[in-house]
Amino acid sequence: MAGGQDERRSELLRQGAEADGVELVEYESRHRPGTSAERRARRPVLLFWALAAVAGAAAIAHYIVWPWKYVPPQEPGYALYQAYTPLLGMWLGLSLIGVFGALINHVRRVLPKETAVQQRHPTGPSSEENREIFVATVEDAADNVGIRRRSVFGRAMGIGAGVAGASVAVIGVGGFVESPWQPGPRRGEADTLWHTGWYPEDGEKVYLRIETADPEQVALVRPGDIDPGGLLAVFPFRESERGNPQQLKEVLSRADNPATLFRFRPGERVEYRPDRAGMNYGDYYVFSRICTHLGCAVNLWEKQVNRLLCPCHQSQFDLNQYAKPIFGPAARPLPQLPISVDESGFFYATGDFTGPVGPTFWELPK
């Protein structure tokens, strides 16, 4: 910078300090430019920016290539799946440590030592002179920070902060890359978030099945398998899945499949709703087992009053009112599954749930 401009800026800074009632008690550079002391002070700043850049790039790579799809325990790949979120958090955390470490070291080791005392001043629009002073102050700060004079700082800051910011942006945008509304590869239209595993495709019946110790064993349910006032957890089953271990297991792990088959006691009063007519089979009703608050399994049961309880945040659903929430944070009823009984006496679903399962579409895997 030309000497005249330098003097003019110093003069403006001094005027600005006086006009703002600022007393500069201390203002001195920490190191003379170009000395080895200055180079030593810069080193940790550059190292922290490098950490921010490397960890940010690792977070982006991890997010894109690491296997993230759900793998049940004891299956190959379960350890990798389990490590997905902790490792992603670790890379992002290191990247943020890099950013803040660089900024803290820059302020403590590189910027001039400054102690200033400023009086309060009245609020209102700034005068032309004050604006000029502000510009001079910002330019002076840019020079002192070293971004302008020491271009290596500017580049390190640009790369470190840029990559760290990009890692956060990639993760934010990544969830929108694959549209959850598009038909999926295996079951086409039935794979969209509008449908669960109970969605009947190609006219094939979807039976109610209970889970046993062996996921490949198929145990269907008939009326009479539960006592009045009792309930059972049920999952969908199609004859085309019989003998296919992979599909029989997948059905049990899909997030929106679990449902509760409930049998009312004889003579119990259930609220009548014309829009739900024909969805029950006598005293038997089926509702989603997934809480509409945050998606826990609603698996506690108050038998005397026909209420299902969610153990996570204590929402209660009244089965006498079609699983309407009557206590706790859940705001929507558990969706109902329409059922009937086929000619062999087994329960089957005549359609999909009456509404979205769980808290939101976005958290359900395809």
- The residues of the shown chain that bind ligand FES, judged by CB under 6 A, are 291, 293-294, 296, 310, 312-313, 315, 328-330
Residue 60: CB atoms within 10 Å: 20
Contacts with 98 (C-beta within 8 Å, 6 or more apart), sequence order: 48, 49, 50, 51, 52, 53, 54, 55, 56, 160, 164
Structure tokens at 106: 């820059």
Query: 18 vs 363, which CB is nearer to ligand FES?
Result: 363
DSSP 24: E
SS3 206: strand
Minimum CB separation of residue 188 from ligand FES in Å reads 31
Query: 127 vs 314, which CB is nearer to ligand FES?
Result: 314
Q: Which residue type occupies 228?
A: P
Q: Which residues on adjacent β-strands are paired with residue 321?
A: none
Structure tokens at 346: 């087994």
DSSP 328: S
- Helix H or strand E segment including 139: helix 128-145
Minimum CB separation of residue 356 from ligand FES in Å reads 15
Query: 103 vs 312, which CB is nearer to ligand FES?
Result: 312
Minimum CB separation of residue 361 from ligand FES in Å reads 16
Q: How far is CA 324 from CA 51, 229, 328, 358, in A?
A: 52, 18, 11, 14
Structure tokens at 135: 């510009």
Minimum CB separation of residue 358 from ligand FES in Å reads 9
Query: 146 vs 358, which CB is nearer to ligand FES?
Result: 358
CA distance 293 to 313: 8
Minimum CB separation of residue 315 from ligand FES in Å reads 4
Minimum CB separation of residue 196 from ligand FES in Å reads 18
Query: Do 325 and 315 form a contact (C-beta atoms < 8 A)?
Result: yes
Nearest to 54 by CA among 170, 156, 173, 169: 156
Query: 85 vs 314, which CB is nearer to ligand FES?
Result: 314
Minimum CB separation of residue 330 from ligand FES in Å reads 5
CA distance 302 to 231: 11
- Helix H or strand E segment including 316: strand 316-318
Query: 221 vs 334, which CB is nearer to ligand FES?
Result: 334
Query: 260 vs 315, which CB is nearer to ligand FES?
Result: 315
SS3 25: strand
- Helix H or strand E segment including 352: none
Query: 37 vs 300, which CB is nearer to ligand FES?
Result: 300
Minimum CB separation of residue 331 from ligand FES in Å reads 10
Query: 56 vs 295, which CB is nearer to ligand FES?
Result: 295
Minimum CB separation of residue 294 from ligand FES in Å reads 4
CA distance 88 to 95: 11
Minimum CB separation of residue 306 from ligand FES in Å reads 18
CA distance 252 to 236: 8
Contacts with 167 (C-beta within 8 Å, 6 or more apart), sequence order: 55, 56, 57, 59, 60, 63, 91, 92, 95
Query: 98 vs 358, which CB is nearer to ligand FES?
Result: 358
